[in-house]
Amino acid sequence: MEGGGEPVRWRRFALGCAASRTPPTEPEKPSIMHLRWAFAVVLLPLVCIGCQVPRPVTKPIPPPPKLSAADIGFLKLAAEDDAAQMQEAQLAQDRAPRPTLRQFAHQMITDKTENSRDLVTLAQNKGVSVSSAPDDQQSAEIQALDPLRGRAFDRAYLDDELSANAQEIALYQREADQGSDPEVKAFAQQMLPILRQHLSMAEALSPGSARVLGDEGTSRSDKGM
């Protein structure tokens, strides 16, 4: 047994050693997906470097020059005057019985719309906020006109226009003479001839003028005779 069992033991040992040996594994080949990720990781910093385009240096916009209190007050009052006269002219265009007065109202709306647009642009360039509505006193005068009709409306509207135009001319003349800002002064000087024309037109349409015609083509003084 001893002599015959030795080869068996050696065979078993040899088989055990052979079984315990694992064949060497080949190194895992990188997949296509792994290669793509590695390629992206390498290129990403280069792409980011290319994206960093230097921004142009922009100079800060200087603030508009400060106006004097008188110039600011002029712009604000002038804007309120424009709003009030446009609202009254719109009423006159609808309510006035005389064609000549409706034509005057139409001219006022045209001139005041253009004047208001220029004034608002000038005020914005100067950093001044102006109102697009009449003040309280002007609003009360407009409300007083609203219920009137016929000749009563004509008289009240012309009275308001004569007073408003005279005050407006004084406001613009004071700015043209005493204003501090050259552009604001130039605006006032440019508008004065138009304002004086408005006053002349209102005076011509007022009672006592030979150009004030009634609905039948006669003057008011003729109707009273």
One-letter amino acid identity for 89?
A
**Inside any domain, residue 7:** no
pLDDT digits 0-9 by tens, 5-46: 555 554 554 555 555 555 555 555 556 655 555 555 555 555
Please count the structural domains in the chain. 1
CATH of the domain at 100: 1.20.1260.10
Residue 67 lies in a domain: no
Would 11 be classed as within a structural domain?
A: no
Q: Is residue 34 one of the residues assigned to a domain?
A: no
Q: Is the pTM of this model over 0.75?
A: no
User: What are 90-147's pLDDT values in tens digits?
Assistant: 999 999 999 999 999 999 999 999 999 999 999 999 999 999 999 999 999 999 999 9
Tokens, residue 53? 């385009």
Answer yes or no: is 54 within a domain: no
Q: What one-character-per-residue DSSP string does 109-149 give? A: HHHHHHHHHHHHHHHHHTT----SS--HHHHHHHHHHTT--
Closest CA to 81 of 186, 178, 160: 160
Domain assignment of residue 99, yes or no: yes
Domain of residue 193 covers 72-212
CA distance 225 to 205: 19
How many angstroms separate the CA atoms of 138 and 86, rounded? 11
